[in-house]
Amino acid sequence: MIYEKIYFSKNENVSLQTYILEPADSRIYGPQTDPRPAVIILAGGGYAMLSETEGEPAALTFIREGFQTFVLNYTVGEDCIYPTPLVEVSKAVWEVRRRADEWHIDPEAVALMGFSAGAAIAGMSATQWNTPGLYRMAGAPDAESIRPDAVVIGYGAGNVDCMPVNENIPLGKIGRDRDKHLNLTDYVGRHVPPVFIWHGRDD
């Protein structure tokens, strides 16, 4: 398995962790397909932190199903302001797609899986990947290069009105500011890739 951390900025907390199966790993992990689909995991944490239980454990689950898997550690806290998380997830999609041959990935099967705040960022990517100039900020050649092919939203709010207002629940700046770009329903259109949305019983 190729296990490496790729940094997107001078901030060492922002990185893409790879969990890439090599041909020899097919005897152990998932169906023996080449190229494989890819999934980029975005953990939750209220934009204030990243939940450890929603990162690597989720990645390893997808590995067992034969995916090439990645965990995006995106900006949180006071530096989490628009468009930073959208640029970071766009960079991640482009990084996976541009290295598809090297990593035995189908470039037309790059999905995002987000939990809670990470789900909102995944949803932002699904609905706003075509934002003018975004692909340039991500270092990609065109907008289609940063478009996810599918998105899974796990207990994520699609509108800021759905976000908690409890002072005991810490939120990163983008959440506290109730940024309009978190209103995913305002950006839905024919450009959005397939999305699977799920919630827990208590959501």
The b/e string for 78-90 (b: 16+ C-beta within 10 A; e otherwise) is eebebbbbbbbbb
Dig out the tokens for 148 from the structure: 């996810």
Contact 105, 35 (CB under 8 A): yes
Report how many helices (DSSP H) and strands (DSSP E) the chain contains, helices first.
5, 7
Confidence of residue 100 (pLDDT cuts 50, 70, 90): very high
Contact 121, 74 (CB under 8 A): yes
How much is the average pLDDT of 106-111?
A: 97
Amino acid at 80: C
CA nearest neighbour of 43 among 55, 60, 29: 55
| Three-class DSSP category at 168 | coil
Contact 129, 28 (CB under 8 A): no
What's the pLDDT at 158? Answer: 76
Contact 10, 47 (CB under 8 A): no
Can you tell me which residue has the tokens 């800021």? 160
| % of the chain at pLDDT higher than 70 | 92
pTM of the model: 0.93
Dig out the tokens for 29 from the structure: 């992990």
Q: How far apart are CA 134 and CA 51, in angstroms?
A: 27
List, in sequence order, the alpha helices (H) in the chain: 56-64, 84-98, 117-128, 134-137, 173-176
The answer, yes or no, to whether the previous bond of 132 is cis (omega within 30 of 0) is: no
Amino acid at 136: R
Q: pLDDT tens across 123-136, in order?
A: 999 999 999 999 99
